[in-house]
């Protein structure tokens, strides 16, 4: 004898599902709104830098000084301030985070190598692999992470710089000069600050109030100044010159297809959502600014690198919200 399920129970189940869907929909909209809002703010600050450069407030000399301030003072202050109140992790959690980041860094290195080989790129091969592999994780990534995801995510970003810098200044630079390692370049400001932050996390040490506030005030300079410098750097770029098939190809591939591939790959491991979002946001960042420096130093196509940095920097304002919308769905 078949017993029919009472209609009111069916109605209740359907009602619960509708409530859950409405709740999830509201949460998705709130997350998307937050991302779009923060990216709009960053874009407006970039426009301020662009206008400032047009008025000659930001010139090449000022940009060089501002970049040095950011890399040697601002970003290190931002990183250290993220752990001013002690470690948010237990020992095992910190170890697991570093293992995840190290594995992911190695994975991105393998992916970039495979892509270059599959596409049979021969001309400027080292430069193409470097641009595919590395993003502007420190200069633009950390400020964007703090603005969009918050302080704890920014700490994740700082910890991710440890294996990323190892890869960039070890393997990345060796792509151009066919081997060799520069310890001086490896131990830059963000790297030293990341190591200090790691030590503070491992021993769960809190900074004295005066030092903590000093780092906080210094770190607060980073986001607006870095966005203005990026905006100012776009002034002298001829838009018509950017209509280059190669540059458009790497922009579409790196900022869309490759980012979606990483997003899908990370979703398979069911990791902490904040760690996952931090990694995705880092991979959404533009081509690393070091690309043009290395291209110039080692005789690769510096013009190609400059164009790629420009176009990916502009396009990330649109691609980051799109990627996170797809990730949230």
Rounded Cα gap, residues 117 and 218, in angstroms: 43
Considering the entire predicted model, what is its pTM? 0.72
Q: 39-328 maps to which CATH number? A: 1.20.1530.20
Residue that the structure tokens 């920014």 belong to: 154
- Can you tell me the distance from the alpha carbon of 44 to that of 224, in angstroms, rounded to the nearest whole number? 10
CA distances from 241 to 154, 247, 269 (A): 35, 10, 42
Angle between helices 189-202 and 91-118 (to 10 degrees): 150
The two tokens of residue 27 are 């949460």
Which residues, in sequence order, are CB contacts of 283 under 8 Å at separation 6+?
A: 108, 135, 258, 259, 262, 263
**What pLDDT is stored for residue 214 in this prediction?**
94
Quote the pLDDT of residue 152: 82
User: What does the pLDDT read at residue 210?
Assistant: 93
**For position 74, what pLDDT does the model report?**
86
Q: What is the C-alpha to C-alpha distance for residues 202 and 256, in angstroms, rounded to an integer?
A: 36
> Whose CA is closest to 78, among 198, 214, 232, 209?
214
Q: What are the φ/ψ torsions at residue 28 (nearest 5 degrees)?
A: -60, -45
- Other CB atoms within a 10 A radius of the CB of residue 5 amount to 8
Residue spans of beta strands (DSSP E) within 170-268: none
Per-residue pLDDT, 2 = 46
Beta bridge pairs of residue 135: 287
Q: List the domain boundaries for the chain.
A: 39-328
CA atoms within a 13 Å half-sphere pointing along the CA-CB vector of 6? 3
pLDDT for 321 equals: 83
By the 10 Å C-beta count (0-12 exposed, 13-18 middle, 19+ buried), 254 is classed as buried
Cα separations (Å) of 48 from 10, 57, 146?
57, 11, 20
pLDDT of residue 11: 45
For the chain, how big is the Rg over CA atoms in Å? 22
Distance CA 187, CA 184 (A): 5
Contacts by 269-274, CB closer than 8 A, 24 or more apart: 271/100, 274/149, 274/152, 274/153, 274/156
Rounded to whole angstroms, the Cα distance separating 95 from 296 reads 38
> What integer pLDDT is reported at residue 28 of this predicted model?
55
Segment-wise mean pLDDT, segments of 10 residues, the chain, 329 residues: 46 53 52 72 85 86 82 84 72 78 85 84 84 84 82 83 78 70 70 83 84 91 83 67 71 85 84 87 84 74 78 83 77
Q: Are 49 and 229 in contact (CB under 8 A)?
A: yes
* Of 280, 221, 231, residue with least CA distance to 35: 280
């Amino acid at each position: 004898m078949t017993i029919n399920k009472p209609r009111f129970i069916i109605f209740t189940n359907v009602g619960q599902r509708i409530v859950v869907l409405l709740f999830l929909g509201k949460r998705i909209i709130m997350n998307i709104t937050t991302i779009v809002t923060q990216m709009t703010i960053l874009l407006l600050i970039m426009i301020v830098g662009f206008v400032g450069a047009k008025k000659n407030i930001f010139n090449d000399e000022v940009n060089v000084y501002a970049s040095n301030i950011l890399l040697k003072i601002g970003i290190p202050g931002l990183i250290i301030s993220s752990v001013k109140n002690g470690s948010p992790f237990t020992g095992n959690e910190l170890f697991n985070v570093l293992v995840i980041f190290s594995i992911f860094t190695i994975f991105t290195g393998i992916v970039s190598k495979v892509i270059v080989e599959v596409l049979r790129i021969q001309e400027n091969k080292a430069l193409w692999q470097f641009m595919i592999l590395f993003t502007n994780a420190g200069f633009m990534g950390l400020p964007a992470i703090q603005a969009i995801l918050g302080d704890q995510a920014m700490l994740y970003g700082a910890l991710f710089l440890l294996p990323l810098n190892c890869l960039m200044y070890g393997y990345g630079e060796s792509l151009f000069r066919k081997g060799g390692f520069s310890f001086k370049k490896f131990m830059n400001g963000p790297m030293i600050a990341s190591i200090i932050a790691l030590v503070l996390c491992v021993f769960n040490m809190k900074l004295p109030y005066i030092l903590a506030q000093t780092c906080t005030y210094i770190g607060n300079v980073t986001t607006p100044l870095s966005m203005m410098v990026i905006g100012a750097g776009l002034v002298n770029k001829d838009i018509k010159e950017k209509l280059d098939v190669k540059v458009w190809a790497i922009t579409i591939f790196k900022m869309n297809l490759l980012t979606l591939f990483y997003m899908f790959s990370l979703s398979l491991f069911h990791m902490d959502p904040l760690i996952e979002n931090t990694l995705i946001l880092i991979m959404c960042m533009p081509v690393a600014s070091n690309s043009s420096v290395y291209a110039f130093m080692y005789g690769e196509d510096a013009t190609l690198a400059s164009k790629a940095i420009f176009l990916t920097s502009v396009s990330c304002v649109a691609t980051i919200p799109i990627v996170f919308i797809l990730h949230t769905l």
